[in-house]
Amino acid sequence: MLANVKQATIKPLIVATVAAGTLVYTDEYNIYSRLEEWGYAHKTVHHGAGEYARDEDGDGFHEVHVNTMEGFWSLLRSWLRPHRGISQEKLPCYLAFFEYLHNIRKRGQVALQSLLSLLLG
């Protein structure tokens, strides 16, 4: 969670977690406009213009998009809905657990076994 959504706030987080030179895909929100200045390759899709994915090399594969991340947030909202609100203080824990489940792509007993082996191993 961020105190605000300013470039000065996100830059240290990006620099600490994303390798220099990485190609970063975003929407057109201007908070990302300095990514190239900060040492990253940057491609955008322009949702405001109705663009949600772009095929830059003509191979039929729309490689420039942010659909995966937007899908993740959509799934998170659905997953949190039954909780009928959670505290800001506990949100990082819920997010970390959801991220773990999303990344292992397993549910039920298999996910529990994976989590236990991580915690106990």
- Reported as a single tens digit per residue, the pLDDT across 66-99 is 887 877 788 888 878 887 778 888 888 888 888 8
Which structure tokens are listed for 50? 């109705």
- Reported as a single tens digit per residue, the pLDDT across 22-72 is 999 998 989 999 999 999 999 999 888 888 888 888 898 888 888 878 777
Helices 91-104 and 67-80, axial angle in degrees (round to 10):
120
